[in-house]
Amino acid sequence: MDRILMILEVSRKQDYIFASKKLRDNAARSGEIAYVTDSAFFREAAGELYSPEKNLVYAGGGHTVLQFDDRETATRFARAVTSEAMKRFDGMEIFVKQMPYDAGRTPGENLVALTAALEEKKALRKSSFRRLSVGVEALDPVTYQPKLAGKKDETQRPELLPAPEGWEFPTQFQDLAGGDNFIAVVHVDGNAMGKRVQDLYGERTASWDDCRASLQRFSSGIQADFERAFTETVDTLISGLELTPPTLPIRPVILAGDDVCFVTAGKIGLESARVFLEHLTALKNAEDGRSYAACAGVALVHQKFPFHQAYDLAEELCSSAKKFGAELDQKGRVSAMDWHIEFGQLKDGLPQIREDYQTEQVFLSESGDGTKTGRRGRLELRPVVVTAPEEIPMKKTGGVRTYRFFRGMCQAMKGEYGNTARGKIKDLRTAFKQGEEETRFFLRDQEVMKLLDHAFTARYQTWGEQAEQYRKFLDGQQELAKGPFEEIDGTTRCLFFDAVEMVDHCDFLKEVEA
């Protein structure tokens, strides 16, 4: 039997999602993208040309793969689906690529070739389907949905996930912003998901039907598990923050498999990302039996900051966290997080932003052969590890490039309010920028040297951990590290800056504080 493979993908998703300045519409537009690549829409648009049992291969990773008995049926299906999508979702751009199934290749090799053919087509920007406004539509001011002249608009705007009973997701950015007017844009991306798909291809080589069934189970499991992690995150926030209904301080924007974006009140952005990663890593995909790991980027911006720019920054931060996680474990088992709080005009990208996080002082570092080199220190410890299997060595973190250390340090600095003048804590940022010598001078001059103790207690948070360090100190095995800077994996970094910068912009769940 002849078999025609087809891949259908919505292109420029971010442009479509963020075309509106309303949070509710951003989430709804994301739901529309999920809808037009789903079986429910295919049945509605293509009728008898589509049957999920016969035609669907799998949906995931932002695209849908289908199969047909002949090219004519495939072409008619593509025409029906893209035409209906263009009529109902103004500005959406869809790519479709067909390819005959090659019996001389394995199922995985055919699917890899199909994806490559789509990417080639996208690079040429050929044969995409997109309806442009021709001046006969009237925009619905509530939904931004086009109403065709002389035609009743019956479009249903799908929700990504329902809010818990008795609660509702916020519809405006100002509903999220607290007293500091900050919101947090969180982007999460699964680790090594492409490698896991390749592994399935390698295991399912004998039968196309077996490979197809396996991919369906794997992709549907990913979607269900990432949605479950978000739902459990919401439940944790409700209980941990002791919220009162009805409006939640969080809203999902994108829930497309392992590609996730949600927006929260600024002060709970980091905790929300941490909770999501922890819930996710507790789950396993039922098809390949492996646990998940993911990385998160959190952009904290003013509520009026352009949302698309904030999302781009969150993506960059997520990529930064992934790079750090890969340095610790190439198998992708480390869940890491990076963040940035934007107080002014955003620069061109994360590398330019991080240029401001260098110290003025040059620190000397000695290599194994005794050679000494000088380089400027770093103010930030970010990215940080959130979760990792016990067998992965954490030497590169120095014991401090972890969310646990940041949280302990931030809570300690919060505890200084009432004991140490807020102005002195804020002025520490200037001293840190100048380097370790100026920092120690500032601490002595302001009579707050006791703040250095927090680095020790944030690193060793239990009595057992602290007792072990004191034992080694008394035995002469080591000194007690209580300095403002420390060399970590060849770079001198400030242990305090992240906490001081975020002390007024980060709240922690009560279950953690306990």
Residue 437's contacts (CB-CB under 8 Å, 6 or more residues apart) are 361
* pTM recorded for the entire structure: 0.90
User: Cα angle vertex 252, ends 313, 255, to 5°?
Assistant: 85
Cα separation of the two ends of the chain: 64
Quick one: DSSP state of residue 417? Answer: B
Query: What span, in angstroms and rounded, lies between the C-alpha atoms of 379 and 429?
Result: 9
Nearest to 114 by CA among 149, 163, 71, 63: 63
The DSSP code sequence of 64-126 is EEEEESSHHHHHHHHHHHHHHHHHHSTT-EEEEEEEE--TTS-HHHHHHHHHHHHHHHHHHT-
Contact 310, 185 (CB under 8 A): yes
Q: Which two tokens stand for residue 29?
A: 């537009």
pLDDT of residue 151: 39
Looking at residue 474, what is its pLDDT? 76
- Tens-digit pLDDT profile for residues 399-416: 999 999 999 999 999 999
Give per-10-residue mean pLDDT for the chain (514 aa).
90 90 91 92 95 94 91 96 92 93 95 93 66 40 37 54 94 88 96 94 92 95 97 96 92 95 97 98 96 98 92 97 97 97 83 94 76 86 97 93 96 91 91 94 90 88 79 71 87 95 92 45
d(CA 432, CA 454): 16
User: Which of 338, 265, 272, 296 lies closest to 187, judged by CA?
Assistant: 296
For CA atoms 347, 349, 352, 358, the dihedral sign is: positive
Torsion-angle region of residue 490: left (phi > 0), alpha (psi -120 to 50) or beta? left
Give the pLDDT confidence score for residue 463 in this predicted structure: 82
Q: Report pLDDT for 251.
A: 96
Q: What is the pLDDT of residue 459?
A: 87
Hey, how many other C-beta atoms are within 10 angstroms of the C-beta on 15? 12
Domains and CATH numbers, the chain: 4-148 (3.30.70.270), 163-346 (3.30.70.270), 351-514 (no CATH)
Please check whether residue 13 is in contact with residue 95, taking contact to mean a CB–CB distance below 8 angstroms: no
CA distance 50 to 228: 29
Give the pLDDT confidence score for residue 150 in this predicted structure. Answer: 38
Number of C-beta neighbours around residue 22 at 10 A: 16
In degrees and rounded to multiples of 5, residue 150 shows phi and psi of 75, 15
Could you tell me if 249 and 295 are in contact, meaning their C-beta atoms sit under 8 angstroms apart?
Answer: no
pLDDT at 132: 47
Q: Which two tokens stand for residue 142?
A: 């509530």
> Which residues contact residue 364 at a Cβ distance below 8 angstroms, ignoring those fewer than 6 apart?
372, 373, 374
Q: Where are the beta strands (DSSP E) in 317-439?
A: 335-341, 358-366, 372-378, 384-387
